[in-house]
Amino acid sequence: MRAYGSHDGAPCDGAGEEDAVTAEVPPLRRPRGAARALGFRRRSADPAVQAADVRASEPLAPATTAPIVLAGRYELRRVLGSGGEANVYAAHDGLLGREVAVKVFHSRVAPPDAGSLERVEARVSASLNHYALTTLLDAGIDEGPEGRQLYLVMEYVPGEALNERLRRGPMTPADACWLGFDIAEGLDHMHQVGFLHRDVKPSNILISGLRSARPVVAKLTDFGIAARVGEPDLSEFTTGTAAYLSPEQVEGLDAEPASDVYSLGLVMIEAITGRVVFPGSVTRSAFARLDRDPEIPEGIPPRLADLLRRMTARRPADRVGLYDLAVELQQILVDMLLELRPGGAAPAAEPPVVDGPPQQASAAFDAALRLLLGASGATAAIALLGDPAAGQTVAARAGAATASPEGLPVLRAARSGAVLVEDAWQDRDLRAHPLVLGGGVRAVAAVPLQNADRTVAGSLVLLDRAPRAWDDAARAALEDTAALLVADLGLRRAVRRALSLDD
């Protein structure tokens, strides 16, 4: 599925230059005994051939001047992109008064009364909810003068596809890292929900044209060939685009989460160099990665070069995971920010803080604690900063708590790992604390806010008014929230370090 937009009125090619249909080369047997023939489901690599095929099969825009309105609601206004399977239109939602993108499938490809691949696409899209993934708003079958038409309604993203952006020249390494961070976050969400994308490429990445404090804001789109994680691919042909397939896909093996990581690595290298990593014909491009690793761009930070190598390792087991990838990209971006400041690279020692304490809470703390409460079902969540032995301060809290947890004996024990107390009344050290005596707290769970260098920045505490056994889900929510808070603290400390170099 694509969601499209253009801030300057230029159309976004709905099928991109490297999109695929069944490859227009004789099917080739895969090496190493692979069972499936090398074919690609989506479209020809030649944009002229593809455009001619589409023009010959269906018009790109309505033949009459009267607007086409789907479901009595979506007025199609202009073509944003087209391909062998569907046309994508900029449209106006008359009911809610907003701009949307509507993907209308050709009836010969997706008969509205058949259980087609596009319906699977709609189900995949409806399962996803992430800022870096385009959002499905509606789906249906229109009974209009053009006959029965299957359509999907997506968010409209003002901007352009990455392949269009790269026609103006390559990105800086920092911009490529911003892009990689967004897409890594989106893919990680997809994988956690249970789906593989399998077609990560420049034409399926949208660069938002809306003004932002960040130089690049990216969204992943087109879930038409997404598949469930771990589900075997029983089709005869490989799905995906030759230039961005992982080695295991080329060999005829099933895609896995690491396959999406490999494809993203190729996209990031292309963004930095402005050149496709494995160019050439479908066959030449696909098999090239079995013989050689991608060439890493020269002149980029060594840490980024190493990360790109780990993203594009030939063995899936050697590739970096998406969570670690996102964290490392954040750290690389901070390093780049410091190097751009007067005075050069960041000093080895922590410089004096400009103003305020070195660690303080942010709005992110409050949001994270509210999410933690919802996930754990506890009464209150409290984040503290500082050393339990030398004193701590409450940085943020959510839920009802009549007293502060400073001085709780469990906080010192929690410096080395999670501490879970099912009933504080049965704990000799806890039952005299004001939270338990006067606040009615019965259950306590605490984990450290531990920095990457193993130092402890504080504690994260869950409180409940009823005795409870802390199950795996509650513990996981607590530990995940602690990791988010530590990441937020680290980023803001790094920004303060960068700002201090201006003094």
Helix (H) or strand (E) holding 483: helix 472-500
Asked if 306 is an active-site residue, the reply is: no
Catalytic residue among 13, 19, 142, 199: 199
DSSP 8-state symbol, 464 = E
Q: Dmax over Cα atoms in the chain, in whole Å?
A: 82
Distance of alpha carbon 263 from alpha carbon 194, whole angstroms: 18
Q: Are 46 and 84 in contact (CB under 8 A)?
A: no
Count CB atoms within 10 A of the CB of residue 143: 12
Count CB atoms within 10 A of the CB of residue 381: 28
Which strands make up the sheet holding 456-464, listed edge to edge?
Answer: 391-399, 380-387, 456-464, 443-450, 419-421
Distance of alpha carbon 257 from alpha carbon 16, whole angstroms: 24
Enumerate the β-bridge partners of residue 90.
Answer: 78, 101
Residue by residue, DSSP assigns 103-159 as EEE-TTTS-TTS--HHHHHHHHHHT---TTBPPEEEEEEEEETTEEEEEEEEE---E
> In this structure, what are the phi and psi dihedrals at residue 396, rounded to the nearest 5 degrees?
-165, 155
CA dihedral 326→327→329→334, nearest 10 degrees, is 140
Distance of alpha carbon 326 from alpha carbon 181, whole angstroms: 5
Residue by residue, DSSP assigns 192-250 as HHTEE-----GGGEEEE-S--SSS--EEE---TT-EETT-----SEE-S-GGG--HHHH
Distance of alpha carbon 365 from alpha carbon 134, whole angstroms: 26
Distance of alpha carbon 4 from alpha carbon 1, whole angstroms: 10
Distance of alpha carbon 478 from alpha carbon 473, whole angstroms: 9
Distance of alpha carbon 283 from alpha carbon 367, whole angstroms: 49
CA nearest neighbour of 472 among 428, 420, 424:
420
Count CB atoms within 10 A of the CB of residue 479: 15
Distance of alpha carbon 252 from alpha carbon 237, whole angstroms: 9
Pairing of strands 380-387, 205-208: unpaired
Task: Just list the catalytic residues.
Answer: 199
